[in-house]
Amino acid sequence: MKKKILILGVTGQDGSLLAEYLINKNILIYGLIRKSSNRNYKNLEKVIKNKNFSLVHGDVLDSFSIEKIIREVKPDEIYNFADQDHVRWSYQIPSYSFDVTAFSVLKILEIIKNSNKKIKFFQPFTSNMFGNISKNKLNEEEKFAPLSIYALSKASAFHICQFYKNVFNLRIYGAIFFNHESERRTPEYVTRKITQAVARIYLNKQKKLYLGDINNKIDWGYARDYVEAAYKLTQLKKPDYFVIGSGKAYSIKYFAKKAFEYMGLNYKKYISIDKKLIRKSKTKTLVADIRKAKKYFRFQPKTNILNLIKIMVDNDLKIEKNND
C-alpha cells in the first residue's frame, strides 16, 4: 500500500516544493487548499496533473474541516507549512498571525491525538525565534528570545509541539529553518525583491532598487534543499527536531552585488537606501550549527549562495520576458 502524505499550505513555497520532491516517489500526496483561495495553482504546475496528487479543501483554523480530511485521507505523515510567515505582516495582523501560526498547530495535534497517534507530524520553525543571541553559531540547545509577533508565534508552536510529544507521545518532528529562498519567494522578501529588480533593470523596465539595511548578514539557503531535509528527518525512527541552515552568513549587500554582477551590472549605480525599510526589531547575525542534522541524517546543503542567486535571477528574467 502506498504511503499517504498530507501537505498543509501546499500552494506556498515550501509546501509546493515538497510536493515536487515527493511526486515521483510512489507516494500519494494530498495538498490542502482553502475553499476561499483565489485558486492560484502556479506553484503546483509540475504536480497537479499527476495521478498521485490530489487537492483537498479545508482551513487550518477550521478544526472540523481538518478532522474530516484526516479521517478520510488517513495520512501516514502530515507536513504543516500553513502559516503567516512574514515578519512585517505579523505586526499588521497580530491576532491572525498567532492563530494561523500557533493556535492552529494545537488544533491539529488535538485531532491527531484523538484520531490516530501513529501519524507522523512535521512542523517547521524559524531561526527568528532566537532573537538577539550573541553566539557565532546556533544549535538546538539555544533558548528563544523572539523579537516579532511572527517569531513569538513560531516559538509558541514549538512549545505546543514539545508538550504534545512529551505528554501524549505523539510522533512530532520539527526543523528550525534558517532563511531559505527560492524562485517561489514573493517580492516582499528581500532576496526576491533584489532578483526581480535585477531582471527588470537589465531589461530597462526599472531604474532603481530601494533597500534598507544592506549590511545585515543572513544565513541563506535554497528551499528545495530544506524541504528535502524535512522529509528525510521525518523518516527517522525517533521523533526529534533539528537546526537546518547553510552554516554561512552573507550580507544583503553581497547578495545584491552578486545578483547584479551575474547580469554584468554594477550594483552601486542602481541601489538606493530607504531608511523606512529598516526593520523595527532587527536580530543580530544568526548562523546555523547543523552538526546534529549532519550526524543523524547526513544533511548537507546542495546549493551554495551563488547558485541560489543564479536560479532566482534566471527565473525572474524568464518571467519579465514573458510579460512583454
Rounded-to-integer distance, Cα 166 and Cα 26, Å: 32
**Amino acid symbol at 219:** D
Q: Is 34 exposed, middle or buried (0-12, 13-18, 19+ CB in 10 A)?
A: middle
- Per residue in 277-297, pLDDT (tens digit) is 877 656 678 999 999 999 999
Please check whether residue 222 is in contact with residue 301, taking contact to mean a CB–CB distance below 8 angstroms.
yes
Q: Is the pLDDT of residue 93 over 70?
A: no
Residue 8 neighbours by CB under 8 Å, 6+ apart: 15, 32, 60, 78, 79, 80, 81, 82, 108
- Per residue in 52-89, pLDDT (tens digit) is 999 999 999 999 999 999 999 999 999 999 976 655 65
* Torsion on CA atoms 127, 133, 134, 137, rounded to nearest 10: -30
pLDDT of residue 324: 77
pLDDT of residue 133: 82
Q: How many CA within 13 A on the CB side of residue 38?
A: 3
Averaged pLDDT, 96-122: 95
pLDDT of residue 296: 98
Question: Is the CATH number 2.60.40.1180 carried by domain 185-218+249-286+303-322?
Answer: no
Q: Out of 13-27, 134-148, 303-317, pick the least confident.
A: 134-148
C-alpha cell at 72: 478520510
Please check whether residue 59 is in contact with residue 26, taking contact to mean a CB–CB distance below 8 angstroms.
no
Q: Express as a percent the part of the chain with pLDDT over 90.
A: 84
Averaged pLDDT, 224-238: 98
Averaged pLDDT, 234-260: 98
pLDDT of residue 34: 84
Rounded-to-integer distance, Cα 185 and Cα 198, Å: 15
Averaged pLDDT, 26-50: 87
Averaged pLDDT, 6-15: 96
Give the H/E segment covering residue 323: none
Q: Is the pLDDT of residue 40 over 90?
A: no
- Which residue's entry shows cell 522578501? 189
Give the H/E segment covering residue 119: none
- The model's pTM is 0.94
SS3 of residue 28 by DSSP: strand
pLDDT of residue 92: 63
Rounded-to-integer distance, Cα 259 and Cα 252, Å: 11
The end-to-end CA distance of the chain, in Å, is 48
Q: State phi, psi for 122 to the nearest 5 degrees.
A: -105, 130
**Residue that wins the pLDDT comparison between 136 and 30:** 30
Q: Is the pLDDT of residue 199 over 80?
A: yes
Q: Where are the domains of the chain?
A: 4-180+221-244, 185-218+249-286+303-322
Averaged pLDDT, 44-52: 96
**Residue that wins the pLDDT comparison between 133 and 50:** 50
Architecture of the domain spanning 4-180+221-244: 3-Layer(aba) Sandwich (3.40)
Residue 131 neighbours by CB under 8 Å, 6+ apart: 144, 145, 146, 147, 151, 283
